[in-house]
Amino acid sequence: MPVVLREAWATLVPDMTDRHGPLPPMMLALTVVTGLVDAVSFLQLGRVFVANMTGNVVFSGFAVAGAPGFSVTASLVALVSFIAGAVLSGLLVHRHAHRGKMLQYALLAETLCFAAAVIVTQTSGSPYVGEVRFTLIVLLALGLGVQNAAARALAVPDLMTTVLTLTITGIAADSRLVGGTGSKAGRRVLSACAMLLGAVAGTFAFLHGHPALPLLFALIILAGVTAAATVLARADAPWIRPLAKN
């Protein structure tokens, strides 16, 4: 079997005795959530991201320079909410050396944020404007801040769930063709495809279904990953133990 396919298979069906155990497929599922939710935020909440904070910084620059269709306020609200979520997740990370419980609690917090967002969409109706728009930005960015900080603490290689720039760079820069140690393309391409899948599904559901469908799909995925984390965290396995500090 080619190396790329072996890497992809090991990511989708990991060795449960490995240092990261069941985390790789969970991280891929959360990457799909990122694609779904950023499709919602960009297409329905007005050129703002709730997961891609690099985009919000750039959008703020566009708005300051006077480009039409961009909002400094929306970008800053997303940034502040994302930071608040990261702070909340940081508290969980530093209080729980048990990686399973840390992931479980972070996912519970994120799922609550998304459940609240779905309730808002159901009670307000679309389009999402005014206070509803900003409420959704806050809830979603808060949840993605929790997710991103938890993924950073778990440190599963090449599966950060919200950031692809370094992942894509690694595919090219680490290739053996250029003298690198190996691009790990199987895992890295899966990560990119997971986000692409989420974005495609979120856009399709919005254009051909109902505006709230992408968030509902994201909530279902989150609930499933949270349930899996809750069950798997009960086992005494290598992946639940703290990572060794350098």
Domain assignment of residue 198, given as a range: 3-240
**Residue 245 placed within a domain:** no
Answer yes or no: is pLDDT of 231 > 70. Answer: yes
- Predicted confidence at residue 175, as pLDDT, reads 73
Q: Is residue 188 part of a domain?
A: yes
Q: Is residue 127 part of a domain?
A: yes
Stretch among 6-20, 75-89, 126-140 having the lowest mean pLDDT: 6-20
- On whether residue 219 sits in a domain, the answer given is yes
Average pLDDT of the residues in 171-183: 69
Give me the DSSP letters along 134-175. Answer: HHHHHHHHHHHHHHHHHHHHHT-TT--SS--HHHHHHHHHT-
Residue 119: what pLDDT?
Answer: 96
Q: Share the mean pLDDT of the chain.
A: 92
25 lies in some domain:
yes
Q: How many domains does the chain have?
A: 1
CB-CB contact of 28 with 14 (8 Å): no
Q: What angle do CA 169, 86, 129 make, to 5 degrees?
A: 95
Would 246 be classed as within a structural domain? Answer: no
Q: What CATH number did the domain enclosing 84 receive?
A: 1.20.1250
For residue 186, being part of any structural domain is answered with yes
For residue 182, pLDDT beyond 80? no
pLDDT, residue 165, reads: 83
Rounded to whole angstroms, the Cα distance separating 37 from 34 reads 5
Read off the pLDDT band of 78 (50, 70, 90). very high
* pLDDT tens per residue across span 100-114: 999 999 999 999 999
